[in-house]
Structure 1
Amino acid sequence: MTGHEPPTALPRELLERPDVRSALAAHDFGTVFYVARAEAGISYSQIAAECGIKPERVGTLAKGNGKVTSFEKIVRIADVFRIPGHMVGLAARPWEIPPDGPATAAPRREFLKTSAAASLAVGLPELSRPATGGRVGGDLPAKLRQRTARLRRLDDVLGGGDTYRTYLGEYQSTRALLRHRTYTQETGRGLLSVLAEQAQQAGWAAFDGGRHAEARGLYEASRIAAVDAGDAALAGNALAFLAYQGLREDRQAAVQTAARSCATAGPDAAPGVRALLYERLAWAHAVAGNADETERALDAARAALAEVDGAPQPDWAAWVDETELQIMSGRCWTELRRPLRAVPVLEAALARYDDSHARDKALYLSWLADSYLTAGEVEQAAKVTGRALDLSSGVASVRPRERLAPVLHRLGEHEALPAVADVLEQARG
């Protein structure tokens, strides 16, 4: 370790003690605070001042009550006590690396990737699987839906390459339950609806990880399950997924499928669902070059979103909000080569978009870079592309690099510019 060490730095022999190592791995900082005072003579008031935590809170944690969960606090505690990053799920901290050593990776993304599964498992509903041939209780579909919603949060911070097996396993487990257990007709419909959700989530992870054949099969299975369950909204969403994937092959057919998705869900679908499906219809039209139809679909999505007034929305559609709709609008105008419309919308929305959503932010930045290039702002395009490359590094998704490839190709025409040469070198690294 290099640089000045603060007076709160814990001795190496203390950090290496098995009980302290276990506490650090579990983010049990209350135990660390207790040991710091008892073994290193660091007072709770000093810990509070250095870590930016109220003194009474430090004492409460040291007694085993409560937990530190925010990324910022964990980083600060690691720096205050000089705890190496790997001991708490962080990348190497700047003070660990010699001045002439390699640049540090973004610690926030590394932290989220290493701890996402563990933190999301907290509160994951436990399920009592009935014995072979047993009867399924009527409460199981709701429990499965809650579990599915909780696991969906993994997609916020991990790519499909990391989540596909988890989501596929959930889908296969529910499918086996439907085949081998007994249940009432109502419970069966509920299970089919959950199965449709799970197939869509597994299909999305497959698509994100580059498994396109598996994705299509799961989307088709989802549509059939949703129709059998009488769940028009999920049936419509399955079609929207198929349209999104189909844009890679036949754009006009994908537009027709996207339009069917809206019609299938119908006008009585929850506002959030309609906003999601019209947003995806707008995207299909934009990729197909249909400017007027894109505008109308975006207007329909905006109107639907305005109806969301606090009433419960399906969890699988709840991520669509004003920021997401602005980003989709910017993406659409980028595809339609309207940079004057795209850039301000994307800049404003992405300023509010947290870096922890690394895959999605990298993707969205690629459209911003694309629009800057179309507008002739080459240096700015290079800067944004470099940011996207940083965010996408280490993400188990094929899509950011696929999206950035044509942007980098266009930047290659301006390689004489230092900013462009730097980002092209970064991309080759």
Structure 2
Amino acid sequence: MTYQPPTALPQALLDDEEMQRALAVHDFGTVFRLARSRAQVSYSKIAAECDIKPIRVGTLARGEGRVTSFAKVVEIADALRVPGHMVGLAPRPWETEGPPAPTPRGEMGTTNVRRRTVLQVATTTGLAAALPALHRPPTPQRITVQYVEQLHARTTRLRRLDDVLGGGETYRVYLSEYQSTKAVLRTASTTDDTRRRLLSLLAEQAQQAGWAAFDGGRTADAGSLYEESMAAAREAGDGDLLGNSYAFLAYQTADRDQAAEIAARSCATITDATPAGVRALLHERMAWACAVADRPAETERALDAARNALEEQQHGEHQPDWAAWVDQTELDIMTGRCWTELGRPLRAVPVLTDALARYDDAHARDKALYLSWLANAYLTAGEVEEAAKVTGHALDLSIGVASVRPRRRLAPVLAQLGRYRTLPAVFDVLERAGA
């Protein structure tokens, strides 16, 4: 079969008031009916492009039922090339939750301006337009190993967006990649080998989309994607990605004991063939789950296991790209976070201070998050002025980050600082946060 680009609704139809009203309330039955009657887009083509059963398209067009899943809304909008604002993607949660961001000042100006520029380009033109080199290659009639490798390289490049953009901006990009690969699995011809490779890629893409969903405040969507990733990894026989799916799910699970149990399942996937970087990643996520569950002995064992894995990593040993970010600095930061959660500031502060001094401010979202744990540790130790100083730095870094997590992490820190507002350093940071 030859590649067919996604169906694009004509601009004249998108400008129609009835169409705009239908899109705003996710009334896709009306959208489909108008697409057929005014743009001659058949229901069968809509069904194929939007991954909906043809009978379901007809049912929706008759006004029976609704599309209620946000992920499906995004998928349909992408398939029909409907601009995001028309399907009600605003207000965005990272702009409405937690303390307002302060005005940029001091040495952080350059970093924040650069990040805001990227965000503005991505928001006004769409990430696909902002990154023309990342257009997905056409799908061949028969899937080859080389084609899967092309898609994998594309996924690796797109992962770099997470270094500068929050999940609120990257979610739709990653979700679209996952859905496109899923469509290839459903419609294209594959061998057993290429199907297994595609399933592993699908598991990886589902994890990336799930992480962006979690970062952007869509916890339910993230959980569903992690479950999808587990299913794909199992079918592919990819134990490393299966373990990482468990680790992701544990990280966002609210029940502390349940999260520790899920993290233990992730570590149970480790074998002699598991790359050292993957072992380090799974053990450090296990350490975090145990720290949150107030299990200090298990936390320390998991941190030691992660450290041993990094020390055993051989030069030139292949590590999957999705685990390559775990290094000594990241492990030191996780160690400090764990000791903060366990109420051990004398252990947490030195390791966090040293590690964060090596951590570039360009990774604004992550450093803002990590600084929140350092501020928390200082508060536990009674060092209020130092906590205020660190919190101010975290607030500066959080400007323009499309993620709910920095604000959620900083809100309780600011609340604790509120008890010391008579101190000049604290008063200043509270004023800047708008508290």
TM range, smaller chain: 0.7 to 0.9
1:378-415 per-residue CA deviation (whole Å, 9 max, x = no partner) reads 00000100110110011000000101111111111111
Equivalent residue in structure 1 for 2:388, among 357, 382, 402: 382
Equivalent residue in structure 1 for 2:109, among 106, 131, 144: 106
1:177-204 per-residue CA deviation (whole Å, 9 max, x = no partner) reads 1001111010000000000000000000
Q: State the secondary structure of the residue aligned to 1:244.
A: helix
CA distance in 1, matches of 2:402, 2:327: 25
Deviation at residue 102 of structure 1 after TM alignment: 9.0
Equivalent residue in structure 2 for 1:185, among 192, 195, 201: 192
What letter corresponds to residue 181 of structure 2 in structure 1?
T
Tell me whether 1:129 sits opposite 2:139 in the alignment. Answer: yes
Tell whether the 8 Å contact from 2:115 to 2:400 is kept in structure 1 after alignment.
no
Greater relative contact order: 1 or 2 (C-alpha under 8 angstroms, separation 6 or more)?
A: 2
CA distance in 2, matches of 1:365, 1:106: 18
Tell whether the 8 Å contact from 2:343 to 2:380 is kept in structure 1 after alignment.
yes
CA distance in 2, matches of 1:380, 1:234: 40
CA distance in 2, matches of 1:238, 1:416: 46
Structure 2: gaps spanning 5 or more residues: 1-102
1:308-348 per-residue CA deviation (whole Å, 9 max, x = no partner) reads 22211000000000000000000000001111111110111
Tell whether the 8 Å contact from 1:370 to 1:407 is kept in structure 2 after alignment.
yes
Tell me whether 1:152 sits opposite 2:155 in the alignment. Answer: no
What letter corresponds to residue 183 of structure 1 in structure 2?
T
* Residue equivalent to 1:209: 216
What letter corresponds to residue 308 of structure 1 in structure 2?
Q
* Residue equivalent to 1:174: 181
* Residue equivalent to 1:427: 433
Tell me whether 1:269 sits opposite 2:274 in the alignment. Answer: yes
Tell whether the 8 Å contact from 1:141 to 1:190 is kept in structure 2 after alignment.
yes
Structure 1: gaps spanning 5 or more residues: 1-100
Tell whether the 8 Å contact from 1:330 to 1:346 is kept in structure 2 after alignment.
yes
CA-based RMSD of the aligned residues comes to: 2.0
1:22-56 per-residue CA deviation (whole Å, 9 max, x = no partner) reads xxxxxxxxxxxxxxxxxxxxxxxxxxxxxxxxxxx
Equivalent residue in structure 1 for 2:412, among 403, 406, 422: 406
Q: State the secondary structure of the residue aligned to 2:138.
A: coil
Distance 1:126 1:180, change over 3 A: closer
- Please give the residue correspondences for 1:21-420 in structure 2 after superposition, counting only pairs within 5 Å: 106-115=109-118, 121=131, 124=134, 127-130=137-140, 134-246=141-253, 249-310=254-315, 311-420=317-426
1:214-269 per-residue CA deviation (whole Å, 9 max, x = no partner) reads 000000000100000010000000000000010xx210011000010011233421
1:263-309 per-residue CA deviation (whole Å, 9 max, x = no partner) reads 12334210000000000000000011111100000000000011222
Q: State the secondary structure of the residue aligned to 1:165.
A: helix
CA distance in 1, matches of 2:183, 2:386: 52
* Paired positions, count: 324
Tell whether the 8 Å contact from 1:193 to 1:226 is kept in structure 2 after alignment.
yes
CA distance in 2, matches of 1:370, 1:401: 14
TM-score by length of 2: 0.72
CA distance in 2, matches of 1:159, 1:259: 28
Q: State the secondary structure of the residue aligned to 2:189.
A: coil
CA distance in 2, matches of 1:413, 1:121: 47
Larger Rg: 1
What letter corresponds to residue 204 of structure 1 in structure 2?
W
Distance 1:234 1:396, change over 3 A: same
Sequence identity percentage: 64
Distance 1:168 1:141, change over 3 A: same
Deviation at residue 113 of structure 1 after TM alignment: 4.5
CA distance in 1, matches of 2:167, 2:212: 4
Tell whether the 8 Å contact from 2:284 to 2:306 is kept in structure 1 after alignment.
yes
Tell whether the 8 Å contact from 1:234 to 1:265 is kept in structure 2 after alignment.
no
Deviation at residue 123 of structure 1 after TM alignment: 5.9
